[in-house]
Amino acid sequence: MKLQYSLIGRQLDNSVSTLNSFRLSDDIRYRPILDMDTISESFRKGGYGGVDRFRDLSGYLNSDLLISYRSKIEEIKNMANVQNESFKTIKDRSSEWIREMDHFPGISPVNVIFRLGDGFKFRDVHPVLGTARWHYGQDFRVPYGTEVYATGDGKVIESGWNSGGFGNYIIIDHGYGLRSTYGHLSEIKVAKGMNIRRCDLIGLSGSTGTSSGPHLHYEINQFGQHKNPINFFNNDMSEEEFNEMIQAFGSKSKFR
């Protein structure tokens, strides 16, 4: 019996160390990445105690041994419970995080081989109107009919003709307060209300609306404020990498 107990004790120690390593990776790896607070020590340890809980075991010859193992088991049970809960919340948070990452408009809407046009700035002379006004987006100098991709997962909230100057345009709501606008399109491939994924083909570029030549106008709106789109995508990819990315996402896409 005693031998059995010592064997069980070793196994218990093993599980304690495993749990501790779980806790460490929980505290040090997962929670910092997901920007969550760590679980406090008192919470982890809390909830057990009470001297009389093992009263029915006292009074025997090896009572001490029995009681110590029982309390250890209780402790492990408790730790495992807390860890389990913690992992559940981390899992929820991480799937949410991955969703957020997918919805973030983080890529270039057209192939990176095309040069950037006018950026997010105050233009002294509007090329068509000839007056000074703000340019709230990023222009891409692309030829007529270039494929335009959605820059993140989201829902098309507007698509059609805009008489204010965008011509054929699409607005995608990415959630988390982010919206992206694609203007001067020659052709629109998505309809209002459609759920789309990153790298889906949403239209072809053109020169509709107030435009002096074929280009794509790309805007990003965060909580109703215009943001500089150049801060949202990296332009340092190579053409092959961009195509590879489009392919990789295209395999998941509903449309292509």
Pick the binder of other proteins from 234, 239, 255, 256 (CB under 8 A). Answer: 234
Pick the binder of other proteins from 38, 71, 89, 111 (CB under 8 A). Answer: 38
Q: Does 33 bind other proteins (CB under 8 A)?
A: yes
- Per-residue binding string, other proteins, 13-32, x by CB under 8 A, is -----------xx--xx-xx
* Residue numbers 213-232 binding other proteins by CB under 8 A: 228, 230-232
CB 7 within 8 A of CB 67: no
Cβ proximity to other proteins: between 185 and 199 the closer is: 199
232 contacts: CB under 8 Å, gap ≥ 6: 104, 105, 106, 151, 220
DSSP 92-150: HHHHHHHHHHHHS--S-SS-TTSEE-S-SEEESS-TTT-S-EEE-SEEEE--TT-EEE-
Pick the binder of other proteins from 63, 241, 255, 256 (CB under 8 A). Answer: 241
Residue 136 phi/psi, 5-degree rounding, is -90, 10
CA–CA dist 112, 240 (Å, integer): 10
With CB under 8 A, what is the number of residues at the site for other proteins?
26
For residue 74, give the H/E element and its range. helix 63-103
* Residue numbers 67-106 binding other proteins by CB under 8 A: 97, 101, 104, 106
* Residue numbers 103-132 binding other proteins by CB under 8 A: 104, 106-107
Q: Provide, rounded to whole angstroms, the least separation between the CB of residue 23 and other proteins.
A: 11
Half-sphere exposure of 80 (CA within 13 A, CB side): 11
Q: How many CB atoms lie within 10 A of CB 200?
A: 25
Segment contacting other proteins (CB under 8 A): 136-144, 180-188, 218-226, 241-249?
241-249
* Residue numbers 157-216 binding other proteins by CB under 8 A: none
Segment contacting other proteins (CB under 8 A): 39-47, 139-147, 215-223, 238-246?
238-246
Q: How many residues does the chain have?
A: 256
CB 104 within 8 A of CB 230: no
Rule CB under 8 A: which residues touch other proteins?
A: 24-25, 28-29, 31-35, 38, 97, 101, 104, 106-107, 228, 230-232, 234, 237, 241, 244-245, 248-249
